[in-house]
A = this chain, B = another copy of it.
Amino acid sequence: MPAPVTLAQIVSRLGGRVVGEAQTLIRQVGSLERAQPDQITFFASPRYKAMLVATRAGAVVLAAEAEALTARPRIVCENPYAYFARVSRILNPSDAPQPGIHPSAQVAASARVPASARIEAGAVIGGNAVLGERVWIGAGCVIEDGAAIDDDSRLYASVVVNRDCRIGARAILHSGVVIGADGFGVAPDSGRWIKVPQIGRVLIGDDVEIGANTTIDRGAIDDTVIEDGVKLDNQIQIGHNCRIGAHTAMAGFSGVAGSTDIGKHCTIGAAAVILGHLRLVDHVDVSAGTVISRSIHQAGTYTGMFPFDDNASWARNTAQVRRLSELARRLRDLEKEVLKGKKNG
């Protein structure tokens, strides 16, 4: 546990200004709902105003426009959620890895593993694999031949990085991630499928986080590329030869089919799917549950979620979806009829 800090100490490190008792002592972060008097919380959405009023937190991070909503000690800043994230990192610094190779780990003689790295029980490091300084390989991970992982990256237990793939610095890969399995390349031939060898790699930039059980396939010919600062949630699938632009974030269950190019600073909602061979420009936001079936050439928000309803209403309305073109035709006919009547009338 790191030492507690005062609000004054926090603003001296992170900026912002204190309103109320600057010597308030903070030991941990907390949620609006459950924070204790020695914890700091944040307020970033008017939706939670009632919780702000009721909170028992010792201090609150908030924006200037919300400053008057509470009398508690508070830090006023421009981006309360990002500020809170920074406060939490002061109070909860990442563990530095205890260096060393567990005796049950299997490290190939030709692998390059610096003394500062940590390799946990049962992990396997292949031939000519290269680990950077302070890389932390969790229990049961498998790093195949020729793969490289740059400084300060952490792989939680049971991650697989296939041969020749590259992972940048400060990456976080959660358990069950598979980097560099073969892409889905099959060519139809007289009713059977012929496998297309997948000879590309996966290249991952710096500061990338990848959620549990997410899979990123190696390229068919060229490489699959994940640029700097990309954040991927759990259970995501990235097909072969995709590019995910820098600082794009994708929520759980979202997927990108093969050879699709997604721009920088995009957000892809939960369970959204981007089909193959498309291009999305920078700053595109795709809503949850949406299937993107054409390229998007204009920044903006795109949605294609079917609205839910109580089952009876849904059944009633959905029956009409299957008759929509007929409905449109009948409307057109009626328009003509009425227009004719008017002329004749």
**Interface residue ranges, A against B (CB under 8 Å):** 28-31, 33-34, 47, 79, 81-82, 84-86, 88-89, 91-92, 94, 102, 104, 106, 120-122, 124, 138-140, 142, 144, 156-158, 160, 162, 172, 174-176, 178, 181-182, 184-189, 191-197, 199, 209, 211-213, 215, 217, 220-222, 229, 231, 233-235, 237, 239, 241, 247, 249, 251-253, 255, 257, 265, 270-271, 273, 275-277, 286-293, 300-311, 313-325, 327-328, 330-331, 334-335, 337-338, 341-342, 344-345
Neighbour of A311 across the interface among B241, B287, B291, CB < 8 A: B287
What residue of chain B has the Cβ atom nearest to residue A102's Cβ?
Answer: B106
Could you tell me if B307 and A311 are in contact, using CB atoms closer than 8 angstroms? no
Chain B residues with CB below 8 A from A276, complex form = 270
A2 smallest CB distance to B (angstroms)? 11
Known interface pairs A81-B187, A121-B124; 14 further A-B residue pairs with C-beta atoms within 8 A, sorted by A's residue number: A89-B197, A106-B122, A124-B140, A124-B157, A158-B158, A174-B181, A176-B178, A186-B249, A255-B270, A287-B311, A307-B321, A316-B324, A317-B321, A327-B328
The residue on B at minimum CB distance from A271 is B273
Q: Is the CB of A212 within 8 A of B217?
A: yes
Cβ contacts under 8 Å, A327 to chain B:
320, 327-328, 331
Bound Cα distance A225, B13 (Å):
35
Indicate if the CB atoms of A291 and B306 lie closer than 8 Å: yes
Give which listed residue, B215, B308, B320, contacts A290 with CB less than 8 A. Answer: B308
Which residues of chain B are within 8 angstroms of A175 by Cβ–Cβ distance?
A: 142, 160, 162, 178, 181
Contact between chains at A221 and B320 (CB < 8 Å): no
Contact indicator B30/A221 (Cβ below 8 Å): yes
Measured CB to CB, the nearest residue on chain B to A337 is: B338
Q: What residues of chain B lie closer than 8 Å to A310, measured between beta carbons?
A: 300-303
Indicate how many identical chains form the complex: 3
Closest to A283 in B: B191
Q: Which residues from chain B contact A257 at a C-beta distance below 8 Å?
A: 251-252, 270, 288
Within the assembled complex, what's the spacing in Å between the Cα atoms of A289 and B276? 13
- Measured in the bound complex, the distance between the Cα atoms of B198 and A172 in whole Å is 13
Pick the contact of A122: B122, B187, B212 (CB < 8 A). Answer: B122
* Given the contacts A85-B194, A222-B34, A162 and B156 also touching, CB distance less than 8 Å: yes
- Are A235 and B234 touching (Cβ within 8 A)? no
Residue contacts A-B, CB under 8 angstroms, 25 given:
A47-B277, A81-B188, A85-B185, A85-B187, A91-B197, A102-B106, A174-B178, A186-B231, A186-B249, A211-B215, A212-B217, A213-B213, A213-B235, A215-B234, A235-B255, A252-B255, A292-B308, A300-B311, A301-B311, A303-B315, A304-B306, A306-B321, A327-B327, A327-B328, A331-B331
